[in-house]
Structure 1
Amino acid sequence: MSMVRVSLCVAALGVVLVWACASEGGVEDGVVGVLDGLEEGRVEVLEGREAGVLARGAEREEEGAAFFLGLVYEGMGLREEARVCMEVAAGSGSVPARVGAVGWLMEDSYDRGDLAGVEEWARRGVGYGVLRGEALARLVEVWARRGGGEREVLEWVAEEGEGRVRAWALWALGEWERVLEEVRAREVPEGVWVVGEWGVLGEAVGAVREGRYGEAVEGYRAYLGGGERATPTVLADLYTAYRLSGRLSEGASFFLSLAETRSEVRLSALDYAGRLFRFAGDYDRSDQVWETVGEEASSPSLRARAAWYLFANAVRRGGDAPLTLAPRLPALLHSTQELSPVLDEYVSELIRTGEFRTLPRLYTALAPILSPPHRALLSTAILASASAGLLSLSSDEAHTLKDALAQASASPHTHPYYYLLAHPDASPLAYYTRTPRSPRTSDPAATRFIRLAVRFRPLYPRLPSLIRHYLPTAAPDVLFDLARALSQAGFHYQAIHLLADLHEEGIPLPEDLVRTVLYPRPFLDHVESALRTLRPHPSLDRALLYGLMREESLFSPNIVSHADAVGLMQLIPATADEERRRLRMEPGDLEDPSYNITLGTSYLSRMLERFSLPIYALAAYNAGPTRAKTWSASYAHLPPLLWIEALPLPETRHYLRKVLASSVYYAYLYHGRSVRDELFRLTGTDVAQALSL
């Protein structure tokens, strides 16, 4: 070959190399632009891009990016492109992304009927031990259907799994009787249990589900025979059948006899006997059963259940029965939190019925195991009663209780309402920004994974559920960034819950996030427009309106409650329509922020005009004006702090605490009003004096 031809070839090769490098650089530049566009929420940046090239470039840019890119494609309905991205992500250096991608590909294979593909991706992926959720369920189901599979994995799932995946693992292992553990959860795969000798049981289960409880009792009794087939789940369903059929005493006696003859299910049988005796109103025999459970059980949860029923029975009996029992409860319980909600109801009942002198006795009897929320509740009730002259306390006793309230209210498990009562002249921010009790141990991989997830704004609506497995081990700072990003994008519900969970864990929150994320002010234009146009009651300002809106919906315009209340201010359609007519407005959509805020503001203003105190109006907003009128009259003799705790509807008591606390925070953060002044404005009482002698 001549030197000229060699030179030309080398030159041509150089051109090819230069072109290749330029093309690769172009791809990289394009990837950065796409990722930046997705961070801004612009999915149109994916148009005209080849998914495989983009996924490989994104993965080179940042490990794990191909996984989130695949999820974006999936959200756009582009399944093929999503699959290509997930195949790239299945080889990612980011373990969380690899786990997620493999799980997605296994589920995708299952949906396409490619059962071999489910196994193949499981083998090629990250190891059976780290598979989660649907991916693990699909793999175990495939093994169960065809037989075989990794026995060690199946045994692990059978012990550690739950629901459908556990049922399939037990089925694959041939442990037919243990499959029944999943019947109650209605997660047993079709065809697993309604076969052969299981037919009788299948008919009994069907009778329960169809409401034929008498038939279900007979079916389960026929299946159990002498009790040799008794399992916890079968007993649970039989208990349900007895209770709903009304055959309470008969059922209690059956379980009691079963407890005497079948030692392997003795405690479960006693559990159901004790409950049924209670439902039948036979509290003496119920107590006898629960005393036995408390003595014999080694499980803390079962001992706590025994304590709960014993205390509930004592409360039902009334008189001094709860106080007589209380000194014995520390032997069964670690904390009174396990007595919720029966203890809360008992305290409320004592206040309603004027048994104020019982409150200090109850506090003393339960002192060793009082949880911070219950200590705060009882301290508040006792101090408020003493201040109103309803019981006597020495100055030393009052001082001790005020210290107890201050300490208990600082717990992240205690509602901030009690913190505000305990510190009316201090900054309320300390409740959220205090030093944690113990630092969180962070996983760098989880932290990087979540930091990357924040860049994919199109995924924000479902992002917390996509990354929930890694939230407990990520560094707090990246979770703060996530909460800030969610809030800025309008996903306040998710952002507030994320920060609330971190606070409950004992992690101090940055002050700026308390203001901008935990207590944000979205829809401000609509709020100001409603206040300006309607000119509502003087007590209704932005702080109160935001406090109520936050607790009603966490600023989710499309939320609908179990009672069919809709939107930001959770309006019942009939109430909203009545308010609309009063304002002579055209019909609108309650999920529209402006329409909802206008009607909600108008209705709350009317309640404020109707009732003498804002707390009465808030009770009316929550429980209806008829109830609020009855309560305001029936408990008018009680000072406001006790009036709140006396309300017979637990939901409304909790609602008032929440709205009062949020309104105080908004007043402090955005209007510079003190805790003491704002609580006086809303409750009509100086809380510092109301909790002093």
Structure 2
Amino acid sequence: MPGLIISVIQTVSYREPRSVFRPGIRKRVPLLVSLFVFIVNLGACRAISVLDLPLEEAAERLRQGDIAFILNADPRRIEELRRIHPSAVFYAGLLAQSPEAGTADNPGLPRLPALLFGAALESPSRKIQEEAAVKLLPLVLEGEDTGLAERFLPGLQKRRASLAGTPGVEELYGGVLYTLGRFDELSEQYRDRNDPSPWGRALFLLGSIRAGENRSPELLDFFLSGPLEGPHHWAFREIRKLPSPFSSSEAAAIAGRFSVARFAYDEGLKHFRIPLEGQSLFFAYPELLADLGKAFQYTAAGEEGIKLFSEWDERIRSGGEGLTTAEAGNIRFRLWYYGGRILRQREQYGEAVRFFTRALSFAPDPLQRDACIWYILEITLEDDPGAVIPLLKTYITLWHEDEYFTDLLDQLARELILSGQWDSFLAVFPLIRPGTDGISRAKYAYIIGRAVLEGYIPAAKAGNLPDFSGAPLGSDYKTAAARPYFRIVLEEKKAPFYYRALAAVYLGEEIPPIPEEISGGTRTPSGEGMDFFLGFFTYGAASYAFSYLAPVMGDLPIGELRFLAETFAKAGRWGDSIRISAHYMAREDYRLSRRDLELAYPRPFIGLIEGSARKERLPPEILYGLIRTESAFIPDIGSRAGAIGLTQLMAATAEEMAGRIRREGGPDYRDQGEIDLRNPEINIPLGTRYLRYLMDRMESPMLALLAYNGGMGRLSRWRTALPELPGDLFPETIEVSETRDYGRKVLSSAAVYGYLYYGMTMEAVVADIFIKEVPVP
């Protein structure tokens, strides 16, 4: 192809030379020669091969994620992949590094990913260079020989000036120097750099120590300050190969941190006992104090920890450690905060609240303040739900992120319903109404409205809010008092569709139609960053794309995220597409559109899902809502509990449903020896049959959905204990938060699917789910 391009350029820019030919022939010769060169190069382009495959075939195989032709090739020819595209080698490297490729287990292939990432350093894209360097660095540092470092050094040296400032590449150069033992050069490279990356700092400190410099204080600070990341773990392994530059207390403190990081709390506490004899390290490094607190919390030594932390706090309070006011406050916060966590773990709740209350007065930032308040309210809620409300009045003006407390307010609502403290909803609602937590605001407003209609809250009391006159809107005073609360829910932009649709049912209204178009047009995004993400789909590595996108989604405009969500959906990456669209739809500046809803609520496997729904007499919108909630349309997904596939079935449940279908004359889903729940053509019919089975036995589709998640036996027991509670309020009382939220999610999804694809209003879908027999289209 390069020759073809050159010939075209030559044709366009050809300058006629002097010639002895006649004028007529002389005018024809340049054109004929250039045409001949063009044809020759065109033939050569068609003959280009990549690892013994025609260029087009190699490109197509890579696009499909098939790298067998790469794994079987001579590694010395690996750069031929650049003929597909200079950046293609990076994505091929990702595929070669996957467990499925088997390069780690094949002695002849372990260097292959490194060779591919090394070739990617030659890409014209700085983004590709950066990411390839990030992948290469641990391969170079953790290799058993210096071969890779020797291979990459000349190119990095040659191109160092052009690569300067490219994140990752400078660290790779430092890693190469370290591996080759060129410690003086490495130390010099970072000496004048301000605020190097964690990898750069680790390489500089270890390189300097190996060069004979005394960097022990800086290395100690590196290990004992801030979170432990990949560079810290590498540096820890390296320093253990050398004569220790640390005292026994310092070395033990470092080892203790790494033990706690891998949840080996007993081992961590054993290490910490050595520096505890001197204690000064824990005052110098607050992060170390936090790790000590976790070690006490999750071991049998909690009482010892409380005693020690109380003694330390008294010493600091009396000025015995010579700390500044800010230093003393930071340490005292951690002593009281982790002391509270230890006491909570030991179920000494009253004392735990006292410790968190004391920690709150020293909280160094809003996040830590919210954490203290959350623990205070959570512990109080477990002991006495009614006592939470006075605390809310005290603390709600102090907390920073309203959404941080959404789960706690959800649990409070459950406790208030179970205990019949209906008037307490009226006390809580004015406190949360001005905040930013639209989910809680909608929940409480809806529950109040329903409690008024059911007579649990007197209508006169409900009408006492300042902006509610309480004047009847009709002959039914209950309805008049409840309607303003339902109106709040319907107009709450952050309310889940679940509560909005329920409120619309009681208002006798429809949720306003969703706009069809998106303001601002649909221009295709461009730029190096977008090219980088699109390369995952062009070169067969779509399964890796989201892991690179997730950390930067907050920095991308909505238009680019929407385009990427569509790209993921076209590639069948439904779960990733849903996560992307959900991310930008939650932004403050977002305006809802039908197009975005279709991305967030797609219809893959439409033939299977609609066919199974018809066969089992189920509304397709409910089945779609269930599958989206269970698996986000990822066929091979599995849960920690052992549920598998699109409908997240347990093996025993699948066996039972398959047996029922077989006995009724249906297909035998065990004809291959066992049930393959990762196969959508098997999973969807079995999951649909299970939902039908539950719906036939429960009082409503909503309870069937809750039983699908929480188990039919438990749901029946919970419902039997509260038979008088209306069907839409009962789900708010379920003790398992996952099941409680599950019903809302499925119903919300079903409402959107009914609206988008089946000609229904959202409120109609919601109303149907609370009756025994649901209309089936």
Q: What is the TM-score normalised by the length of structure 2?
A: 0.73
Distance 1:308 1:432 in 2: 41
Q: CA deviation at 1:548?
A: 0.6
Q: CA deviation at 1:222?
A: 2.8
Of the three residues 479, 500, 511, the one matched with 1:419 is 500
In the alignment, the residues of structure 2 paired with residue 642 and residue 445 of structure 1 have an alpha-carbon distance, to the nearest angstrom, of 51
Q: Could you say which residue in structure 2 is the equivalent of 1:327?
A: 393
Query: For the structure 1 residues 545 and 366, does the alpha-carbon distance in structure 2 shift closer, same or farther, using more than 3 Å as the test?
Result: closer
Matched, 1:665 2:723: no
Aligned twin of 1:499: 581
Give the aligned residue type for 1:188. H
* Distance change >3 Å, CA 53–CA 582, structure 1 → 2: closer
Q: Relative to structure 2, which stretch is displaced further, 13-22 or 148-157?
A: 13-22
Which one is further off, 290-299 or 563-572? 290-299
User: 1:320-353 CA distances to partner (integer Å, 9 max, x unpaired)?
Assistant: 4211211221342123322243232122111122
2:211 is matched with: none
Distance in 1 of aligned mates of 2:551 and 2:190? 26
> 1:275, CA displacement in angstroms?
1.8
Q: Please give the residue correspondences for 1:620-639 in structure 2 after superposition, counting only pairs within 5 Å.
A: 620-639=707-726
C-alpha distance in 2, partners of 1:169/1:637?
Answer: 70
Distance of 1:288 and 1:171 partners within structure 2: 45
Aligned residue number for residue 290 of structure 1: 356
**CA drift at 1:577:** 1.4
- Look up the match of 1:176: 219
Aligned CA distance change for structure 1 residues 79 and 407 (closer, same or farther; 3 Å): farther
Contact 1:105 1:121 in 2 (8 A): no
Residues 34 and 46, structure 1, Cα contact 8 Å, conserved in 2 = no
- CA–CA separation in structure 2 for the residues paired with 1:44 and 1:203: 42
Change in Cα spacing, 1:129 to 1:281, as seen in structure 2 (3 Å) is farther
Take 1:470 and 1:333, find their aligned partners in 2: how far apart are those partners?
Answer: 27
Alpha-carbon distance, 1:120 to partner = 6.2
1:191 to 237, 242, 248: 237
Report the CA distance between 1:559 and its aligned residue: 0.4
Shift of 1:155: 5.8
Distance 2:338 2:351 in 1: 12
Instruction: Answer yes or no: is 1:232 the counterpart of 2:286.
Output: yes
- Specify whether residues 652 and 322 from structure 1 end up closer, same or farther in structure 2 by C-alpha distance, changes over 3 A only: same
Pairs within 5 Å for 1:416-495: 416-423=497-504, 425-427=509-511, 430=514, 445-446=527-528, 448-449=530-531, 452-453=534-535, 456=538, 458-468=540-550, 471-495=553-577
- AA of the residue aligned to 1:430: I
The letter of the residue matching 1:415 is P
* CA separation of 1:443 and 1:93: change in aligned 2, threshold 3 A: farther
Q: Which of residues 732, 737, 743 is equivalent to 1:645?
A: 732
Aligned to 2:695, what secondary structure does the other structure show? helix
CA distance in 2 between counterparts of 1:483 and 1:319 reads 43
Amino acid at match of 2:167: L
**In structure 2, distance between residues paired with 1:641 and 1:182:** 47
User: Deviation digits for residues 605-649 of structure 1, max 9, x if unmatched?
Assistant: 110011111111111110111111012212222222221211111
1:599 aligns with 2:686: yes
Alpha carbons of structure 1 residues 464 and 335: separation in structure 2 relative to 1, 3 Å: closer
The answer to whether the 8 A contact 2:259-2:267 is kept is yes
The 3 A distance-change label for structure 1 pair 252 and 72 is closer
AA matched with 2:680: P
Matched residues in 1 for 2:281 and 2:702: separation? 56
Partner of 2:422: 356
Paired with 2:97 and 2:39, the residues of 1 have a C-alpha distance of 31
Offset at residue 128 of structure 1 (A): 5.9
Pairwise CA distance, 1:357: 0.9
Give the aligned residue type for 2:82.
A
The answer to whether the 8 Å contact 1:549/1:555 transfers is: yes
Equivalences for 1:1-400 in 2 at 5 Å?
A: 20-25=37-42, 37=60, 41=64, 55=82, 58=85, 90=121, 92-104=123-135, 106=137, 109-110=140-141, 111=143, 113=146, 114-115=148-149, 124=159, 127=163, 129-132=165-168, 146=181, 147=183, 148=187, 150-151=189-190, 156-157=195-196, 161=198, 174=216, 175-178=218-221, 179-181=223-225, 188-189=233-234, 190-191=236-237, 195=244, 197=248, 198=250, 200-201=252-253, 216-217=268-269, 219-230=271-282, 231-260=285-314, 261=316, 263=323, 264=327, 265-318=331-384, 320-369=386-435, 371-392=437-458, 393-394=462-463, 396=469, 398=482
Return the offset for 1:371: 1.5
Range with greater deviation from structure 2 (212-221 or 550-559): 212-221
Contact 2:568 2:577 survives alignment (8 Å)? yes
Deviations 1:565-624 (A, max 9, x none): 000100011111122222233232111111111211111111001111111111111011
1:123-172 CA-to-partner distances (Å, cap 9, x unmatched) read: 6366565425xx677566567775415436876246xx4xx777666656
2:557 aligned with 1:526: no
Name 2:665's counterpart in structure 1. none
The aligned counterpart of 1:690 is: none
Hey, what does 1:689 align to over in structure 2? none
Distance in 2 separating the partners of 1:143 and 1:12: 56
**Displacement after TM superposition at 1:447 (Å):** 5.5
Structure 1 residue 282 displacement after superposition: 3.8
Q: Does 1:511 align with 2:556?
A: no
CA distance in structure 2 between the partners assigned to 1:555 and 1:380 by the alignment: 31
> Does the CA contact (< 8 Å) of 1:446 and 1:474 recur in 2?
no
CA contact (8 A) 1:259 1:269 kept: yes
| Equivalent position of 1:610 in the other structure | 697
Aligned Cα root-mean-square deviation (Å): 4.5
Report SS of the residue matched to 1:549: helix
Q: SS of 2:371's equivalent? A: helix
**Bigger mean CA deviation after superposition, 25-34 or 597-606:** 25-34
Contact 1:216 1:241 in 2 (8 A): yes
Q: Hey, what's the Cα distance between the residues in 2 that align with 1:278 and 1:420?
A: 39
Does structure 1 conserve the Cα–Cα contact (< 8 Å) formed by 2:490 and 2:503? yes
How has the CA–CA distance of structure 1 residues 82 and 319 changed in structure 2, closer, same or farther, with 3 Å as cutoff?
closer
Distance 2:631 2:740 in 1: 17
- For 1:266 and 1:484, the matched residues in 2 are separated by 50
Counterpart residue type for residue 402 of structure 2 = T
- Structure 1 counterpart of 2:195, one-letter code: W
Against the structure 1 CA distance between its residues 509 and 330, is the aligned structure 2 distance closer, same or farther, given a 3 Å change threshold?
Answer: closer
Number of residue pairs the alignment of both structures matches:
662
Identify which range, 372-381 or 449-458, moves more after superposition.
449-458
* Bigger mean CA offset, 357-366 vs 519-528: 519-528
Deviation at residue 107 of structure 1 after TM alignment: 5.7
Change in CA separation of 1:216 and 1:105 when aligned onto 2, cut-off 3 Å: closer
Unaligned runs of 5+ in 2: 1-18, 49-54, 104-108, 208-214, 471-481, 663-667, 773-777
Which letter maps to 1:96? K
* Structure with greater proportional helix content: 1
Larger Rg: 2
Structure 1 distance, partners of 2:349, 2:754, is 49
Instruction: Give the stretch that moved more between structures: 422-431 or 31-40.
Output: 31-40
Q: Which moved more, 1:273-282 or 1:598-607?
A: 273-282
- Compute the displacement of 1:259 (Å): 3.0
Q: Secondary structure at the match of 1:354?
A: coil
Q: More relative contact order in 1 or in 2 (CA 8 Å, sep 6+)?
A: 1
Name the CA distance, whole Å, in 2 between partners of 1:276 and 1:165.
Answer: 37
Q: Is the 8 A contact 2:59 2:84 kept in 1?
A: no
| 1: CA distance, partners of 2:484 / 2:173 | 59
Q: Tell whether the 8 Å contact from 2:136 to 2:172 is kept in structure 1 after alignment.
A: no
Q: What is the aligned partner in structure 2 of residue 571 from structure 1?
A: 649
1:137–1:369 CA distance, 2 compared to 1 (3 A) = farther
2:15 alignment partner in structure 1: none
Which amino acid in 2 is paired with 1:360? L
CA distance in 2, matches of 1:136, 1:416: 49
Measured in 1, the distance between the counterparts of 2:343 and 2:394 equals 22
